[in-house]
Amino acid sequence: MMRSFFHRICLAVVFLGGGLAVSGAFAQGSKVNFEKQILPFLKNSCVECHRAPYEKDGKVKKPKGGLRLDAAWAITLGSEDGEVVDVGKAEESALYTSVMLPADDDDVMPPEGKADALTEAQKQLLKKWIDEGADFGGWAGNLTGKPKGVTNAGGKMPVSEIQEVYKKLAMGLKPLAEDDWKAVVDAGGHVSPLSEGGPLLEVDFRHAGKVVSEASLSCLVDLGSHVAVLDLSKTEVGDAGLKRLAKFERLVKLDLHGTAVTGAGLKSLQGLKHLRYLNLYGSQVADEGLQLLGKMKSLKEVYLWDSKVSAKGVKRLKQALPGVEVSWE
């Protein structure tokens, strides 16, 4: 299972303490008991960010990335980007792969400095649980918000809203061959289908960093109609580079954090009718840019930490897009 933007932002699965007990249970080769061995760690370190919506300080707090870890049915359902547990395949499960990344990786979970990283024994316990079949035993968890017809643990799960979007965008679109994106890979990008055999693609230039310039994006043009998720964070891409994205009609998620993009460049994105997620953390976008975003009715999540926007500008954006979730402080 590939990683997605929502997995980049916050899949905070942390296991604290209990190292000796974990090691002992693992060494004995007994089947992992989710409720006794894993659930306590989830409750201690993860559920605060990944639980049913609740109100705090007058604001409704939603589970990060649409992922709830407070119920068996919710864990099986996964995040807004799809499943996080591929039963029997820990190496393909985002719940596991996200904690196995290097400590300095932007996608490692938990984010560096936010909580203690898993010990090697804890990582192996998580892997063992998934490889054994991700059995929740008799634990059901919080049933609040459980869709009708969904079993508490396992069974056929409903497709999340974002997956429905991807499904519609993929209709009638033929998959590309790997040779079709060779130029992108040569330019430092990583390309992968959003689903096995599917036509929609995720393109990630993040690890290429400053090597990626605006000129480098010319290689993306031929893939434009197939790109649904694009990560250009921490690259040298600026306003001129965004012009190349104007015809990416199936683009749903765009990460521009840590780039030189300003509000003026956002004008190139106004024709993207399916853009739901936009990360502008650490960019040069100021309040005038938010006026442009206010016209993009498809937006659901906008990230503006450490940008040039003001509280007044954010307030106007929320008024223009009542349903949007804006994170900026």
- Residue 268 is part of a domain; what is its CATH number? 3.80.10.10
What pLDDT was estimated at residue 186? 87
179 and 302 in a single domain? The answer is: yes
At a CB cut-off of 8 Å and minimum separation 6, what does 121 contact? 19, 22, 23, 26
Q: Mean pLDDT across the stretch 230-243?
A: 88
Q: What is the pLDDT of residues 39-94, one digit of tens each?
A: 887 777 777 788 888 888 777 788 887 888 899 988 888 887 677 888 888 898 88
120, 129, 127, 109: which is closest to 50 by C-alpha?
A: 109
What pLDDT was estimated at residue 25? 43
Q: Mean pLDDT across the stretch 242-258?
A: 92
Tell me the pLDDT band of 210, cut-offs 50, 70 and 90. low
116 and 210 in a single domain? The answer is: no
What pLDDT was estimated at residue 168? 92
| Residue 25 or 207, more confident | 207
Domain count, the chain: 2
Tell me the pLDDT band of 125, cut-offs 50, 70 and 90. confident
Q: What is the pLDDT of residues 287-327, one digit of tens each?
A: 999 999 999 999 998 999 889 999 999 999 999 999 888 88
The last residue of a domain, from among 138, 158, 178: 158
pTM (2 d.p.): 0.62
| Residue 5 or 88, more confident | 88
What pLDDT was estimated at residue 188? 86
181 and 125 in a single domain? The answer is: no
| Residue 82 or 28, more confident | 82
At a CB cut-off of 8 Å and minimum separation 6, what does 130 contact? 85, 86, 87, 88, 89, 90, 93, 95, 96
Please report where in the chains the tokens 């009718």 appear, as a residue. 273
Conformation bin of residue 141: beta by default, left when phi > 0, alpha when psi is -120 to 50? left
200 and 317 in a single domain? The answer is: yes
Q: Is 94 exposed, middle or buried (0-12, 13-18, 19+ CB in 10 A)?
A: buried
What pLDDT was estimated at residue 288? 92
Q: What is the pLDDT of residues 136-165, one digit of tens each?
A: 988 889 888 877 656 665 444 445 677 788
What pLDDT was estimated at residue 8? 42
Range of the domain at 233: 164-327
| Whole-Å CA distances, 75 to 45, 87, 303 | 15, 11, 25
The whole-angstrom separation of Cα 303 and Cα 216 is 25
204 and 143 in a single domain? The answer is: no
For residue 10, pLDDT over 50 is answered with no
| Residue 3 or 75, more confident | 75
For residue 248, pLDDT over 90 is answered with yes
The whole-angstrom separation of Cα 31 and Cα 46 is 23
Q: What is the pLDDT of residues 169-196, one digit of tens each?
A: 999 999 999 999 998 988 888 898 988 7
**Two tokens, residue 195:** 């689903």
122 and 68 in a single domain? The answer is: yes
Tell me the pLDDT band of 286, cut-offs 50, 70 and 90. very high
In order, the DSSP letters of 285-309 are -BHHHHHHHTT-TT--EEE-TTSB-
The last residue of a domain, from among 140, 158, 176: 158
154 and 174 in a single domain? The answer is: no
122 and 34 in a single domain? The answer is: yes
127 and 173 in a single domain? The answer is: no
189 and 314 in a single domain? The answer is: yes
The pLDDT > 70 percentage for the chain reads 83
The whole-angstrom separation of Cα 279 and Cα 266 is 12
| Residue 176 or 329, more confident | 176
The last residue of a domain, from among 141, 158, 175: 158
Residue 112 CB coordination number (10 Å): 13
> How does the average pLDDT of the chain come out, rounded?
81
Q: Is 245 helix (H, G, I), strand (E, B) or coil?
A: helix
134 and 190 in a single domain? The answer is: no
What pLDDT was estimated at residue 64? 80
What pLDDT was estimated at residue 150? 60
The long-range contacts involving 42-51, CB below 8 angstroms and separated by at least 24 positions, are 42/13, 42/15, 42/69, 42/70, 44/14, 44/16, 44/17, 45/12, 45/13, 45/14, 45/15, 45/16, 45/110, 45/115, 45/116, 46/12, 46/13, 46/14, 49/10, 49/12, 50/12, 51/142
169 and 316 in a single domain? The answer is: yes
